[in-house]
Structure 1
Amino acid sequence: MSRLRVYARIARVLMVVALGLSMASVFGVFERLGIAHSMVRRQRWSRFFMARLSNALPFHVTVHGQLPRAPMLWVSNHVSWTDIPLLGMLTPLSFLSKAEVRTWPVAGWLAAKAGSLFIRRGSGDSQLIRKQMTRHLEQEHPLLMFPEGTTTDGRSLRTFHGRLLSAAIDSEVALQPVAIRYLRNGELDTLAPFIGDDDLLSHLMRLFANDRGEVEIHLLKPIECQDRERAALAFEAQQAVQKALFGEVAKPAEPRRAGELIAA
């Protein structure tokens, strides 16, 4: 692909980012003036931005399944930073993100203004974020989280952690499992995953230097959470995503003996 076309693609993304910064600046001005901006409006504008960013990315997207009509806690496998705009364009929603994102130049500010919730890993603030998530869902604002806790290369699925799924139980909303898969020439895409020590600029250059890839998004059957245990919910959601991605279900972990548990 010609260098000129690569630069044109990058310029298009930068124009969309500039649009996002303009929108976030408006929210910032309103905040300084003490003018309240509802989460509904933030989510709608976020979806508007995500749709335009997705259109600027070198992917052809196919969506399978039906969008939920009621607010739910969305849970998805995580492959790349591009998961966020591709899923965020589907419907107005907020994201649960690691706290480091908030410190990122541009992206962190945009995420905060869009209504993202942030959590610090291992900081002991899980109860606080659980309450924030519960309040968010009780106010009928859809929320998406990546229960694997990190990205993968798309060839496997990590364990879904159920700790924060208590928010869905507390707020009495359902889980919406989502499976996202990147393909290129009929095979799993090796360019889309954003893992390890990869940096955003290098990742963008690799994506834009190649032809369009394919993205499949599967909106799976919602899972009711009422009177359920969070670990069971996490495993059921993981099984659903595993089956959609690889045609097989995850095997349950082998039970551990009491002595092994104490030793661990």
Structure 2
Amino acid sequence: MNRLRVYARIARVLFVVGLGLSMAGLFGIFERLGIAHSMVRRQRWSRFFMARLGNALPFRVTVHGELPKVPMLWVSNHVSWTDIPLLGMLTPMSFLSKAEVRTWPVAGWLAAKAGSLFIRRGSGDSQLIRKQMTRHLQQQHPLLMFPEGTTTDGRSLRTFHGRLLSAAIDSEVAMQPVAIRYARDGEIDSLAPFIGDDDLLSHLMRLFGNDRGDVQIHLLKPIDCQGRERAALAFEAQQAVQRVLFGDAPEARPVPLRPAIAA
């Protein structure tokens, strides 16, 4: 693909990012003036931005399944930073993100203004973030998290961690499993994954220097969380995603039972 076309594609993405910065800046001005903006409005504007960013990316997107009609905790496998705009354009929602993202130039500021929740790994703040997630869900705001805790190359699925799924149990909402798959020429896409020491500019150059890839987003059957154990929920969601992506499911592992409550 000629270099001029690559630069034109990148310029389109930069234009969309500029639009996002303008929107976030407007929110910032309103905050300084003491004008509050509800999470519902933030999520709607975030979806508006994500839809335009997703359309600027070099992918053909196909969505299978039905969007949930009520707020849920979405859980998805994680391959690339592009997962966020491609999933975020489906419906108004917030994201649970690693704390480092908040320090990223541009992206961190946009994420914070859009209502993202941030968690620092290994800092012992999982209880605090769980309470924030529970409050978020109880207020009927959809939330998406990546329970693998990291990105993969799309050829395997890591263990879904269940410690934060307690938020779905506590807030009595269902869980929406999502499987996202990137393909190119009928094979697993090797360009889309954003892993290791990859940097964003190099990743963009690789993506836009090639023809469009294909992305399949599968919205799977929601999982009822009421009265369930978080480990069981994590494993059930992982199995559902595994079946769609690779056609088989991992062997069952022991799941701790909730201790009986004395009468």
Correspondence 1:233 to 2:233: yes
The unaligned stretches of length 5 or more in structure 1 are 256-264
Encode CA deviations 1:221-246: one digit per residue, 9 max, x unaligned: 00000000000000000000000111
What amino acid does structure 2 have at the position aligned with 1:220?
A: L
What amino acid does structure 1 have at the position aligned with 2:122?
A: G
Identity of aligned residues (%): 87
Correspondence 1:108 to 2:115: no
CA distance in 2, matches of 1:254, 1:65: 30
Correspondence 1:251 to 2:245: no
CA distance in 2, matches of 1:252, 1:195: 28
Measured after TM superposition, the shift of residue 251 of structure 1 is 1.4
- RMSD of aligned C-alpha atoms? 0.8
Matched residue SS, 1:86: helix
Matched residue SS, 1:101: helix
CA distance in 1, matches of 2:202, 2:52: 21
Q: Tell me the residue number matched to 1:212.
A: 212
What amino acid does structure 1 have at the position aligned with 2:129?
A: I
CA distance in 1, matches of 2:120, 2:251: 30
CA distance in 2, matches of 1:82, 1:250: 26
> How do residues 97-136 of structure 1 correspond to structure 2 at under 5 angstroms?
97-136=97-136
> How do residues 61-210 of structure 1 correspond to structure 2 at under 5 angstroms?
61-210=61-210
The unaligned stretches of length 5 or more in structure 2 are 256-263
Instruction: Give the TM-score normalised by structure 2.
Output: 0.96
What amino acid does structure 1 have at the position aligned with 2:54?
A: S
Q: Tell me the residue number matched to 2:40.
A: 40
Matched residue SS, 1:204: helix
Moved more, 244-253 or 230-239: 244-253
Once superposed, which parts of structure 1, at least 4 consecutive aligned residues long, lie more than 6 Å away? none
CA distance in 2, matches of 1:35, 1:171: 28
What amino acid does structure 1 have at the position aligned with 2:241?
A: V
Measured after TM superposition, the shift of residue 253 of structure 1 is 3.5
Encode CA deviations 1:110-143: one digit per residue, 9 max, x unaligned: 0000000000001010111000000000000000
Count of residues paired in the alignment: 255
Measured after TM superposition, the shift of residue 150 of structure 1 is 0.1
CA distance in 1, matches of 2:49, 2:195: 24
Q: Tell me the residue number matched to 1:28.
A: 28
CA distance in 2, matches of 1:211, 1:221: 32
